[in-house]
Amino acid sequence: MDKREVYLDNSATTKLDEDVLEAMMPYFTEYYGNSLSQYGFSRKCAQAVDDARYSVAKAIDCKPVEVYFTSCGSEANSWAVRGGALSGRKRGSHVILSKIEHPSIMNSGKWLTQNGFDVTYLDVDKYGMVHEDELRKAIREDTVLISIMLANNEIGTIQNIPALAAIAHANGIVFHTDCVQAMGLIDVNVKKLGVDMLTISAHKFYGPKGVGVLYVRSGLIIDRLINGGGQERGMRGGTTNTPLIVGMGVAIEKAVTETDTNAAKITLMRDRMIERIKNEIPDVILNGHPRQRLPSNVNFAFNYIEGESILMRLDLEGIAVSSGSACSSGSLEPSHVLLATGLPVERAHGSIRFSIGKHNTMEDIDYTVDKLKVIIAQLREMSPLYKPQDRVKEV
Amino acid sequence: MDKREVYLDNSATTKLDEDVLEAMMPYFTEYYGNSLSQYGFSRKCAQAVDDARYSVAKAIDCKPVEVYFTSCGSEANSWAVRGGALSGRKRGSHVILSKIEHPSIMNSGKWLTQNGFDVTYLDVDKYGMVHEDELRKAIREDTVLISIMLANNEIGTIQNIPALAAIAHANGIVFHTDCVQAMGLIDVNVKKLGVDMLTISAHKFYGPKGVGVLYVRSGLIIDRLINGGGQERGMRGGTTNTPLIVGMGVAIEKAVTETDTNAAKITLMRDRMIERIKNEIPDVILNGHPRQRLPSNVNFAFNYIEGESILMRLDLEGIAVSSGSACSSGSLEPSHVLLATGLPVERAHGSIRFSIGKHNTMEDIDYTVDKLKVIIAQLREMSPLYKPQDRVKEV
Amino acid sequence: MYNQKVIDAFSNPKNVGEIENPDGIGTVGNATCGDIMQITLRIENDIITDAKFKTFGCAAAVATSSTATEMVKGMSIDQALKLTNAKVVEALGELPAQKMHCSVLAEEAIKAAIEDYLSKKNK
Amino acid sequence: MYNQKVIDAFSNPKNVGEIENPDGIGTVGNATCGDIMQITLRIENDIITDAKFKTFGCAAAVATSSTATEMVKGMSIDQALKLTNAKVVEALGELPAQKMHCSVLAEEAIKAAIEDYLSKKNK
Ligand SMILES: Cc1ncc(COP(=O)(O)O)c(C=O)c1O
Ligand SMILES: Cc1ncc(COP(=O)(O)O)c(C=O)c1O
């Protein structure tokens, strides 16, 4: 078996599409003007930004004036949670998040706590699902904002956002959802989801790094996060980043067109990978939901061993994966998402996320599982926790 | 005289340098990994980000760990002012800015006011200079932060930051300076300036749009603006934007190497332009300081007529300039900077900024002044304010 | 930001100037707001036979002044009093939202000039 | 993140396993923190003649275990007690700051194994 380069970390970031890059190119050195300037030289930039805004609006089914370009998903999330809460302060100071949100949301919640807000973190079940009853119970008179993600970045669990958003609205509460992982893999439609705010980030669907979108329903006014001049209708400062915004526009158009084909192809790879790992490697636990799951996500706890060792051994075979959340890699904390699903700490430490992208092939999957089997066996041999008799017991 | 394309709006944004773009290219589609990931595929990205951080540190004379990458100057400014003030809240709630700061600073000041802070805006003299005495008078027991820009974006006035920062430090107050316009044209050195925080933005010195830097002196801890994972040592969320950060690194290296030659060349053009306008067009006022001035900045009030008309007529001749601040173009408000220098409102309305870049030539300057003379005369003929007898009086 | 019609009207404005000893003169706006418009009319038997303008203002102000003065020539003063800014803008195609106030100035300046004519006539 | 020496020590670790009926055994850390290290020693006349390890832990834990067990072989127990984590890290070149605690575990596990030996011997 020849060594391959297998990138299975598409939930961390994806390869920029060549078409997208090509569309961006003229805006670097040729049409480099400030899109807000009044002279003819900038007209092409302004038009390009308008077009991209229109593409995003069409993709998520909203009006172009409801699209705000940001520098990333984290900015959009911080803006939605902090800005949404601050602008609601007159009505109350309680915010509800789930326990499995991305660090940009979790830490915005922490920021709110330090700034006079009260934050409730909703429990999830062992599959990572937020239950409607939990949300209903958490709502208070003074709740001003709820933020629950559509698809989780670590375990891929997909929430029933329409139902959760409806509960929020029945109580007059603004609802935000983080769709950074969902975009391009499942339907992301603000009308169908019924949300007031929504976050996406281009680099998760083969667009450039450094450009995200916050959708804000027209009529809803939130506090600003990045102050500046008149950009983004006065809501987000910074000289308009025309090339990256153009990249977002082309990437989202392509993502929407390709969602069904990509999802179908990726789901096949996911299902084969899950099957093979379950059948061929003993003592593993599939993290996340068996069905309500992103097409791209495979996440397993490999008992008795630790994630970084697995990651590094796979790396030596040319396979790129992530242990816990890629965003917090390098940290020693076990994943807050896995812990929220009730996984014991040592199993959380031994979990690996494989995230499949449109460039992967079935050969990548088979190569990975073949290598993985050997690596897991070797590492278990090295583990003081692994006693073959335990295995026999558990099987 | 053939029609030329003359870009004289380099203070708004600059043409991305071809070398910089070339350095960025491999990081779009080839080394697209998440720089924080632990596998080998991302090592090259991590190295590239480290290198860029080192280049910035070397350019502004600080340690690499004091460099935080942001998405733009506006973000860095918002972060410094809001984050610097919030983290100082225990010590006090008074902040000092000048009246001629960029909108990202001015509006951050407004945000602070809405959030329980008291903000003093320092007056400037008719040249746009902040006086040390004004600063001394404004300082209070509870002042926690001072932010004054090194070079103004509209009128080019350069402040004596070392003296102002020394006053801040004598009173134990944190000092931030916005060097977005200064970088690449004059020396920007955190040690010589003696500041605690400093902002730059790559697109002002032939780097890409969408990447800025906030320097934060080590030991100083400020409140976060964009929450997220472990990026930027936990201080700024968002998947690391490797290509743009690489662009910043190469652009700043080049900017530092070229500062002297570019500044010399640009100063010659500036001085000729100022001389010619003063000599050949009656009833004009040079805005800004006669000597303490950015090499690139020419800003005149053309009495009796309105800026947008001048801008549009120049545009028809292929010349791109800015009326008031480019960032607030499209707004009807007269420039707050010009008003702060005491210019009457109607003269502020009739002001034009020409900002010269390294790609301009003396021919561009002469062509512009030749066209300008005709345009000003024609527009004055159209103006109800213009009475030739007034002119005779004033001359 | 502006369409081609506006840019044309701005770059080759018609009726620039001031009628000497006009029958009606109207000046509206002020420099502080960034727009002043002065319209002078020659009126014979309540018919506008000539109109000229001077403007301190943006491209939209110049274009609407030029268009409005073209439109009122030949109109009776009653017709001219009914000329709304909407009609001036229509003639130009469209204006950016933040520039609509400039078209109001043209309407107002014409009304002011006609009122000036009427008040002089009634004296 | 890791240098080549660490990666080599991690990918081809020496002394993996468990000595049967060891003269000293030391287990430190716990799975909750993400690291457990078990070291077993064969000690003859206060000289360490063999050392093996098992580790539940990151690459740094594996590499330091491998290196530390290599280093103590042939040492007297007095020498081995003086083996600091700094020396183990030195042998590997360097470790990322957030991984330094793993090298401490190797030092502690060896100490624990020697103490176990001494306590058995004194019984
Ligand atoms: C002085 C000054 N500060 C800050 C900024 C903001 O920079 P950016 O466009 O990168 O947000 C600008 C430019 O727009 C500027 O001129
Ligand atoms: C669910 C989720 N939300 C937000 C983010 C943040 O996106 P970005 O890296 O663009 O800041 C990510 C990815 O890192 C994510 O997976």
- Rounded mean pLDDT of A242-259? 98
Instruction: Specify the CATH number for the domain of residue A138.
Output: 3.40.640.10
Identify which ligand lies nearest to the alpha carbon of A204. Answer: 2
Give me the numbers of helices (H) and strands (E) for chain C, helices first please.
5, 3
Q: Give CA–CA dist A372/C53, Å, rounded.
A: 82
Q: Which residues of D are catalytic?
A: 33, 102
Longest CA–CA span in chain C (Å) reads 46
Domain C-terminal end among B215, B232, B255: B255
Q: Give CA–CA dist A176/B303, Å, rounded.
A: 51
Q: What is the pLDDT of residues A356-376, one digit of tens each?
A: 999 999 999 999 999 999 999
Q: Alpha carbon A39 to chain centroid distance? A: 39
**Length of chain D as a residue count:** 123
* Secondary structure letter of residue C97 according to DSSP: G
Q: Specify the pairing of strand B67-70 against strand B212-216.
A: antiparallel
- Report whether pLDDT(B392) > 70: no
- A320: exposed, middle or buried (Cβ count in 10 Å: 0-12, 13-18, 19+): buried
Mutate to test the pocket of ligand 2, among A153, A185, A213 (most ligand atoms within 8 A of CB): A153
Q: Give CA–CA dist B145/B138, Å, rounded.
A: 12
In a domain, A393, yes or no: no
Closest-CA residue of D relative to B45 is D1
The tally of CA atoms less than 13 A away on the side-chain side of residue C80 is 32
The confidence score (pLDDT) of residue A11 equals: 96
Strand order from edge to edge, sheet including A67-70: A67-70, A212-216, A197-201, A174-178, A143-147, A94-98, A118-122
Q: Give CA–CA dist C70/C45, Å, rounded.
A: 19
Q: Is some CB atom of chain B closer than 8 A to the CB atom of D7?
A: no
Contacting partners of chain C (3+ CB pairs under 8 A): A, B
CB-CB contact of B369 with B8 (8 Å): no
Domain C-terminal end among B194, B223, B255: B255
User: Between B38 and A263, whose confidence is greater?
Assistant: A263
- Report whether pLDDT(B328) > 60: no
Clarify whether residues B186 and B274 are in a common domain: no
Residue whose CA is at the smallest distance from ligand 2 atom 7 = A73
Domain C-terminal end among B193, B226, B255: B255
Q: Give CA–CA dist B213/B207, Å, rounded.
A: 12
The Cα-based distances of B201 to A6, B310, B315, B380, D56 in angstroms read 36, 29, 27, 38, 46
Averaged pLDDT of chain C: 90
Question: Tokens 């996320």, residue?
Answer: A353
Q: Do chains C and B touch (3 or more CB pairs under 8 A)?
A: yes
Q: Which residues of C touch A34 (CB under 8 A)?
A: none
* Closest CA relative to residue B16, chosen from A268, A74, A242, C15: A242
* Closest CA relative to residue A126, chosen from A275, A284, A289: A289
Q: Ligand 2 centre from A74 Cα, in Å? A: 6
Clarify whether residues A198 and A285 are in a common domain: no
Sign (positive or negative) of CA dihedral B257, B263, B264, B266: positive
Identify which ligand lies nearest to the alpha carbon of A296. Answer: 2
pLDDT along chain D (123 residues), means of 10: 88 93 92 84 95 90 92 95 91 85 87 94 80
Q: What is the DSSP string of chain D?
A: ---HHHHHHHHS-SSBS--SS-SEEEEEEEGGGTEEEEEEEEEETTEEEEEEEEEES-HHHHHHHHHHHHHHTT-BHHHHHT--HHHHHHHHS---GGGHHHHHHHHHHHHHHHHHHHHHHH-
Of A101-105, A243-247, C77-81, D102-106, the one with minimum mean pLDDT is D102-106
Residue of B283, B309, B319 best to disrupt the C interface, most CBs of C under 10 A: B309
* Closest CA relative to residue B232, chosen from B75, B118, B95: B75
- Rounded mean pLDDT of A153-182? 98
Residue ranges of domains in chain D:
4-121
Pick the catalytic residue from A45, A72, A179, A327: A327
CB-CB contact of B19 with B254 (8 Å): yes
What's the domain range around B323? 6-14+259-388
Helix axes D4-11, D85-92, angle to 10 degrees: 100
Q: Specify the pairing of strand A174-178 against strand A143-147.
A: parallel
Q: Give CA–CA dist A346/D36, Å, rounded.
A: 10
Q: Ligand 2 centre from A329 Cα, in Å? A: 13
Question: Tokens 């080839």, residue?
Answer: B30
Percent of chain B with pLDDT over 70: 95
Give the 3-state secondary structure of residue B66.
helix
Q: End-to-end CA distance of chain C: give it in Å, rounded.
A: 46
- Report whether pLDDT(C65) > 80: yes
Question: How many C-beta atoms surround the C-beta of residue B202 within 10 A?
Answer: 32
In a domain, B141, yes or no: yes
Residue of A349, A371, A387, A390 best to disrupt the D interface, most CBs of D under 10 A: A349
Q: What is the pLDDT of residues A30-46, one digit of tens each?
A: 999 998 888 888 999 99
Both tokens of residue D17?
A: 């396993």
What are all long-range contacts of C95-104, with beta carbons under 8 Å and residues at least 24 apart? C95/C2, C95/C6, C95/C60, C95/C64, C96/C1, C96/C2, C96/C60, C98/B330, C98/B331, C98/B332, C99/C58, C99/C60, C101/C35, C102/C35, C102/C57, C102/C58, C102/C60, C102/C61, C102/C64, C103/C60, C103/C64
The confidence score (pLDDT) of residue B386 equals: 87
CB-CB contact of D35 with D61 (8 Å): yes
* Closest CA relative to residue B343, chosen from B286, B388, B293, B395: B286
Both tokens of residue C102?
A: 């400039």
* Secondary structure letter of residue A182 according to DSSP: T
Q: Which residues of B touch A16 (CB under 8 A)?
A: 28-29, 32
The tally of CA atoms less than 13 A away on the side-chain side of residue A47 is 9
Q: Which residues of B touch A153 (CB under 8 A)?
A: none
Percent of chain A with pLDDT over 70: 95
Nearest to A312 among D32, D35, D59 (CB): D59
CB-CB contact of B112 with B81 (8 Å): yes
Q: Is some CB atom of chain B closer than 8 A to the CB atom of D1?
A: yes
What is the least distance, in Å, from the CA of C10 to any CA of chain B?
A: 8
The confidence score (pLDDT) of residue B126 equals: 97
Helix axes D59-72, A307-316, angle to 10 degrees: 90
Identify which ligand lies nearest to the alpha carbon of A244. Answer: 2
Number of structural domains chain A divides into: 2
A157 lines ligand 2 (CB under 6 A): no
CB-CB contact of A184 with A255 (8 Å): yes
The confidence score (pLDDT) of residue A318 equals: 96
Q: Ligand 2 centre from A203 Cα, in Å? A: 9
Both tokens of residue C26?
A: 């109207």
- B168-184: string of b/e by CB count within 10 Å (b at 16+)? beeeebbbbbbbbbbbb
Nearest to C16 among B305, B308, B381 (CB): B381
Query: Sorting pLDDT into bands at 50, 70 and 90, what band is A393?
Result: very low
A335 lines ligand 2 (CB under 6 A): no
Architecture of domain C4-121: Alpha-Beta Complex (3.90)
The confidence score (pLDDT) of residue A64 equals: 98
Look at A382 and D13 and tell me if their CB atoms are within 8 Å. Answer: yes
Contacting partners of chain D (3+ CB pairs under 8 A): A, B
- Report whether pLDDT(B2) > 80: no
A74 lines ligand 2 (CB under 6 A): yes
Clarify whether residues B263 and B233 are in a common domain: no
Clarify whether residues B236 and B354 are in a common domain: no
Q: Is the ipTM of this complex over 0.90?
A: yes
In a domain, B113, yes or no: yes
Q: What is the pLDDT of residues B94-122, one digit of tens each?
A: 999 999 999 999 999 999 999 999 999 99
In a domain, B195, yes or no: yes
Clarify whether residues B87 and B133 are in a common domain: yes
Helix axes C4-11, C85-92, angle to 10 degrees: 100
Percent of chain C with pLDDT over 70: 100
What is the least distance, in Å, from the CA of A202 to any CA of chain D?
A: 27
Closest-CA residue of A relative to C1 is A38
* Closest CA relative to residue A371, chosen from A270, A281, A282: A281
Q: Give CA–CA dist A324/A102, Å, rounded.
A: 12
Identify which ligand lies nearest to the alpha carbon of A212. Answer: 2
* Closest CA relative to residue A179, chosen from A259, A95, A265: A259
Pick the catalytic residue from C7, C11, C30, C33: C33
Q: Is some CB atom of chain A closer than 8 A to the CB atom of D97?
A: no
Ligand 2 atom nearest to A201, measured from its CA: 10
Clarify whether residues A214 and A284 are in a common domain: no
Averaged pLDDT of chain A: 94
Ligand 1 atom nearest to A237, measured from its CA: 11
Which amino acid makes up residue B291? Answer: R
- Report whether pLDDT(B76) > 50: yes
Mutate to test the pocket of ligand 2, among A16, A226, A327 (most ligand atoms within 8 A of CB): A327
Q: What is the pLDDT of residues B171-198, one digit of tens each?
A: 999 999 999 999 999 999 999 999 999 9
Instruction: Specify the CATH number for the domain of residue A269.
Output: 3.90.1150.10
Q: Give CA–CA dist C51/C34, Å, rounded.
A: 23
Question: Tokens 């558990």, residue?
Answer: A394
The confidence score (pLDDT) of residue A325 equals: 44
Q: What is the pLDDT of residues B35-49, one digit of tens each?
A: 888 888 898 999 999
The confidence score (pLDDT) of residue C100 equals: 83
Helix axes C85-92, C59-72, angle to 10 degrees: 110
Q: Is some CB atom of chain B closer than 8 A to the CB atom of C14?
A: no
- Most confident of the following: A207-216, B341-350, D63-72: A207-216
What is the least distance, in Å, from the CA of D27 to any CA of chain A?
A: 9
Both tokens of residue B247?
A: 């662009």
- Report whether pLDDT(B376) > 50: yes
The confidence score (pLDDT) of residue B324 equals: 65
- Report whether pLDDT(B75) > 50: yes
Q: Alpha carbon A249 to chain centroid distance? A: 19
- Report whether pLDDT(B394) > 50: no
Pick the catalytic residue from B45, B62, B179, B327: B327
The confidence score (pLDDT) of residue B188 equals: 98
* Secondary structure letter of residue A127 according to DSSP: T
Residues 6+ apart with CB under 8 A from C122: none
Look at A29 and B16 and tell me if their CB atoms are within 8 Å. Answer: yes
- B389: exposed, middle or buried (Cβ count in 10 Å: 0-12, 13-18, 19+): exposed
Clarify whether residues B184 and B281 are in a common domain: no
A149 lines ligand 2 (CB under 6 A): yes
Pick the catalytic residue from C102, C105, C109, C114: C102
Q: End-to-end CA distance of chain B: give it in Å, rounded.
A: 30
Q: What is the pLDDT of residues A268-295, one digit of tens each?
A: 999 999 999 999 999 999 999 999 999 9
Query: Sorting pLDDT into bands at 50, 70 and 90, what band is A346?
Result: confident
Question: Tokens 């059948």, residue?
Answer: A279
Q: Do chains A and B touch (3 or more CB pairs under 8 A)?
A: yes
CB-CB contact of B81 with B95 (8 Å): yes
- Rounded mean pLDDT of A304-315? 92
The confidence score (pLDDT) of residue C122 equals: 82
Q: What angle do CA A198, B233, A312 make, to 5 degrees?
A: 90
Backbone φ and ψ for B335, nearest 5 degrees, come out as -55, 125
CB-CB contact of A289 with A157 (8 Å): yes
- Report whether pLDDT(A333) > 80: no
Clarify whether residues B54 and B92 are in a common domain: yes
Q: Give CA–CA dist B198/A176, Å, rounded.
A: 34
B103 lines ligand 2 (CB under 6 A): no
Question: How many C-beta atoms surround the C-beta of residue B78 within 10 A?
Answer: 28
Q: Which residues of D touch A306 (CB under 8 A)?
A: 34-35, 56-58, 61
